[in-house]
Chain A
Amino acid sequence: MSRRHPFTLLALVAALTALAWILPAPAGGLGTAAAALALAAAAGPRRVLVPALVTAAPFWLFLLLLHDVPSTIAIGLRLTTMIASVVWVGALLPPGRLVEAMVAAGWGVTAAYLFAAALSAVPLLKARAQRIVDAQRCRGLSPRGGLGRRLRALRALALPLVLSVLHEVDERALALETRGFVPGARRTPLAPPRDGTGERAARWLLLVACGAALAWRIAWRG
């Protein structure tokens, strides 16, 4: 799956999410959630499926507190579809590949970079936070223990994290500028992802399926 064109992967996520909301509950949601979880499981039970389930779990809890059981199941399945498919695509699609695909498709360099930056910000922040926590622990701050201690550790982390990221953003801007990454640059795609006729057809098919489902749903309801 990871060899598929980035647009195909994104189309699949969009289609699953759309279908989850369009198709009647609970069977529709059950189908899409099963499909999304199957994709996640295929990509890696530990690396993708478990994080997806862990992310979805609290939503089920909130729904159960707010709604009756049938609505909880209906909405929960839809949310699970969304969460599992987004986690799946995040694990499968490196931002660099997406940027290459966008540049090859004629997008501007800056728009593509903003997109990639948003996608890659989370792991970067995580790595930076980890280094700060490491350094703080080496100076005696314990992040473990009771709630009060954890809160104190969190507060100690927030300021240096924000400051160092801001500082780094400044320097990165200089570096990107000097490496020719400026608005209007006509970038050569280095390894543009292959986009076969089959994949393009599959994306159209997904779109048509969503349209058909919507039409059927409106007609069936009406």
Chain B
Amino acid sequence: MARLTLERVSFWYPATERPALRDASLAVAPGEVVALVGNVGAGASTLLLVAADLAPRVVGGMIKGTVDFRGRGNGEGGRGIVLPTPWTQLSGMAFTVRDEVAFGPANLGWPRERIAGAVDRALDALGIGALAARDPATLSGGELQRVVIAGIVAMEPALVLLDEPTAELDPEGAGLVWRLVRALAGDGCSVVVATSDLNALPEVAHRIVWMEDGAVRRIGDPALLAENALCEAGLATTVADVWRTARLGAPYPLTVAQAEERWRQ
């Protein structure tokens, strides 16, 4: 049974005539990682806002179609979204990283011991235990990004929505986030992630959703990232792209490991 279902959803931001999302349908199962890929303006961020129940409820605008979420509101057993601008997502009420991460769990009214445990696990998962006592206002962009993700994960949501979660991160940090995504899915959490880090996806995503101009163009397994159409749209993995440019035969390999295997045959 799907945890999140979008059926023919269209969405218009306030005071706009063109829909930012057009007739989009998607179902996400528990424990599944779904990656939204597309160029700027493709509608991936909007789809996440709709899935998070923030558009149109908080953002305003108009929606058509149905969004069905099998879970509770925000946080525990519910939804959590990480927006691509970490510096606007601090609570403004915490003076240490630890309290910032605890902000969400505290709002859920959990007992203090449970909050402490969830915060420790989240800090650990993002590799920011050493920052626990720092003032969030003094962190760099990359550190902040990790704190914000930890703040959502600590609430133990059943559906995690991530918008460009690695944009501010160094390769180490990005690797950490992708490992975390896999671990969340392993625990039965569903993850929908919009990202331009296409090379990470073959190892992370179960399914790829190709979006263009507000609409879902194709849905498929990661092999989609090696198809000609995605190469042309600039949405294939680097290895697939290089293989195609070199005019070596299709199907193109997705990753360095696959390329190596093919090359040695």
A: residues with CB less than 8 A from B are 94-96, 99, 109, 113, 116-117, 120, 124, 127, 168, 170-182, 185-191
Shortest Cβ distance from residue B245 to the other chain A in the assembled complex, whole angstroms: 39
When the two chains form their complex, are residues B88 and A175 in contact, meaning their CB atoms are under 8 A apart?
yes
B residues in contact with A180, CB < 8 Å: 73-75, 104, 107-108, 155
Pick the residue among A96, A170, A185, A189 that contacts B95 (CB under 8 A): A96
When the two chains form their complex, are residues A179 and B151 in contact, meaning their CB atoms are under 8 A apart?
yes
Decide yes or no whether B67 CB sits under 8 A from chain A: no
Residues 32-66 of B, flagged 1 when their CB comes within 8 A of A and 0 if not, give: 00000000000000000100101000110000000
Shortest Cβ distance from residue B46 to the other chain A in the assembled complex, whole angstroms: 13
5 contacts between A and B (CB under 8 A): A96-B93, A127-B137, A172-B89, A180-B74, A188-B115
When the two chains form their complex, are residues A174 and B93 in contact, meaning their CB atoms are under 8 A apart?
no
Shortest Cβ distance from residue B13 to the other chain A in the assembled complex, whole angstroms: 12
Say yes or no: A181-B91 contact (C-beta < 8 A), given A188-B115, A190-B102: yes
When the two chains form their complex, are residues B107 and A185 in contact, meaning their CB atoms are under 8 A apart?
yes
Say yes or no: A179-B94 contact (C-beta < 8 A), given A171-B88, A190-B102: no
Q: Which residue of A has the minimal Cβ distance to B75? A: A180
Q: Which residue of A has the minimal Cβ distance to B85? A: A171
Shortest Cβ distance from residue B156 to the other chain A in the assembled complex, whole angstroms: 11
Shortest Cβ distance from residue B154 to the other chain A in the assembled complex, whole angstroms: 10
What does DSSP make chain A's interface, helix, strand, loop or mixed? helix
Distance of A99 Cα from B107 Cα, bound (Å): 12
Shortest Cβ distance from residue A190 to the other chain B in the assembled complex, whole angstroms: 5
Distance of A172 Cα from B54 Cα, bound (Å): 12
Q: Which residue of B has the minimal Cβ distance to A192? A: B112
Distance of A70 Cα from B17 Cα, bound (Å): 67
A residues in contact with B85, CB < 8 Å: 171
When the two chains form their complex, are residues B107 and A178 in contact, meaning their CB atoms are under 8 A apart?
no
Distance of A176 Cα from B106 Cα, bound (Å): 12
A residues in contact with B89, CB < 8 Å: 171-172, 175
Say yes or no: A95-B88 contact (C-beta < 8 A), given A178-B74, A178-B79: no
When the two chains form their complex, are residues B152 and A179 in contact, meaning their CB atoms are under 8 A apart?
yes
Q: Which 7 A-B pairs have the closest CB atoms?
A: A180-B107, A175-B89, A171-B88, A179-B104, A186-B109, A180-B75, A188-B106
